[in-house]
Amino acid sequence: MFDNLSGRLAEAARSLTGKGRLTESNIKDTLRQVRLALLEADVALPVVKTFIERIREQAVGEVVGRSLTPGQELVKIIHAELVTLLGSETAPLDLRAQPPVVLFLAGLQGAGKTTTAAKLARRLIEKDKKRVAMVSVDVHRPAAILQLQTLAGEVGANFIESQSSEDPRAIVDRALDESRRTHVDVLLVDTAGRLHVDDDMMNEVVAVHERAKPHETFFVIDSMAGQDAVNSARVFNERLPLTGVILTKTDGDAKGGVALSVSEVTGKPIRFIGVGEKTDALEVFHPDRMASRILGMGDVLSLVEEIEGKVDREQASKLAGKLKKGKGFDLADLRDQLQQMMNMGGMAALLDKLPIPGSVNTAALKGGADEKQLKRQVAIINSMTPGERRFPKTINGSRKRRIASGCGLQVQDVNRLLKQHQQMEKMMKKMSRGGMQKMMRGMGG
Ligand code: GDP
């Protein structure tokens, strides 16, 4: 998300290079560029207008400090305004109410409600150690109920059954009773969505909401859906007392307009973002980090948190110990590394969070090590014998052919992987012998 916008904003800031201070006239052009960049990213027009106005007010007359260039000064102001636009603060889930705490998900069909319900359930079960139940009141689409059932099973939540023949309000009453009886801490209510806002749907969702009396009412919105989605957010916000927004599919190539408009349009904070299809791909939303990401300043904090949570420390120290003893980095070790990268969402997810200037094109890098690619590399290693993994040098032509056909790939794919392993092995050797410094020197020379 935001790839294009980041580049355009960086360009706009660069146009101020060489100016001594920010003045009405020298920022005029720059602000026009910022305005265009935002409109192209599909940010709602009224949002763009107020945003630009706020920046103009602050920028003009700003005495540029000695440590900052005017371009940097403007970036600083834009950053602060982006944070305001994105809702300023992070609001955690409030789970202190008398159980069952009810979380309610509303939104259009396809926005990602059911998937998000499963992600929230998983988070509550794994992180907060809560007993979670899930219910669907989508009596119009039996497939939606089934989908929720499957996901509930996957994440270990209780699934409360519902039938297409039932009144959605009766389902809610039953779900509340059952949750109380079985001492459930949190009940997640997944609602019906249509492709467009219509009165019947709105009336139904409002009626269900009144019965459920939820503690949190989330509007789930697809970041790829553009202006229409923002308009639907406005309608839902008028009919339901929303407590927050959950923005899905931020891992895709959305332009960013929905993310930047929805909070301002509804006056409600974005609370979580969906960063993938799997049930662990949900992050707490941090406006400041997202603003940094938009400006190409990277989101190193999120990255660090993610690595802390996902890197297998035991495995890492085992590898370190092995290298210290001079035992070398074999293909089984490479497989562990690739699997860890997959856990972190692949190279694309990592690159999005690193402070890479918007002008740098990371597409090639992302393409080279996406999840599919990582999976193929792991498949190649899986197709080897333990001996081959331990002693890659024994892999001759006929072994390569066997390995390739074992995983349905070409010999050249096997060659590429072996080459990659050799390079990493070299790097690891340097690291274990001379430590970091030597490696850095090696990379420089
Ligand atoms: P619902 O109709 O609102 O319940 O939407 P679903 O939960 O069925 O999701 C619709 C589609 O969006 C599914 O294919 C999901 O896998 C996908 N999806 C949901 N959230 C995300 C996300 O954060 N990232 C990606 N890439 N896909 C998502």
Mutation to probe ligand 1, out of 149, 197, 221, 277 (largest number of atoms < 8 A from CB): 277
Are residues 212 and 137 in contact, defined by beta-carbon separation less than 8 angstroms?
Answer: no
198-220 b/e (C-beta count within 10 Å ≥ 16 → b): eeebbebbeebbebbebbbbbbb
Rounded distance, CA 122 to CA 133, Å? 11
Nearest 10 degrees: CA dihedral of 29, 34, 36, 37?
140
Superfamily holding 3-85: SRP54, nucleotide-binding domain (1.20.120.140)
CATH of 101-297, one of 1.20.140.10, 3.40.109.10, 3.40.50.720, 3.40.50.300: 3.40.50.300
Reduced to 3 states, what is the DSSP secondary structure of residue 400? helix
CA of 278 to the centre of ligand 1 (A): 9
* Sequence spans of domains, the chain: 3-85, 101-297, 305-444
269 contacts: CB under 8 Å, gap ≥ 6? 87, 88, 89, 91, 244, 245, 263, 285
Cα–Cα distance, 445 to 436 (Å, whole number): 14
Q: CATH fold of 305-444, please?
A: 434 Repressor (Amino-terminal Domain) (1.10.260)
Residue 252 beta carbon below 6 angstroms from any ligand 1 atom: yes
Give pLDDT, residue 354: 60
Element (H, E) at 133: strand 132-136
Range list of H helices, 243-330: 257-266, 287-294, 300-310, 313-324
Q: Ligand 1 in contact with 276 (CB < 6 A)?
A: yes
What spacing in Å lies between the alpha carbon of 277 and ligand 1's midpoint? 6
| Higher-pLDDT residue of 341, 225 | 225
pLDDT-derived band of residue 251, with 50, 70 and 90 as boundaries?
A: confident
Alpha carbon of 224 to ligand 1 centroid (Å): 11
Answer whether residue 442 shows pLDDT above 80: no
Q: Is the N-terminal amide bond of 100 cis, ω within 30° of 0?
A: yes
- Choose the residue to mutate in 115, 123, 277 for probing ligand 1, maximizing ligand atoms within 8 Å of C-beta: 115
> Using one digit for the tens of pLDDT, what is the confidence trace for 109-130?
999 999 999 999 999 999 999 9
Q: Is the pTM of this model over 0.80?
A: no
- pLDDT, residue 444, reads 35
For the stretch 177-197, pLDDT in tens is 999 999 999 999 999 887 777
pLDDT band at 228 (very low <50, low <70, confident <90, very high): confident
Q: Which of 72-86, 386-400, 431-445 has the highest mean pLDDT?
A: 386-400
Closest-CA residue to 355 (of 393, 395, 299):
299
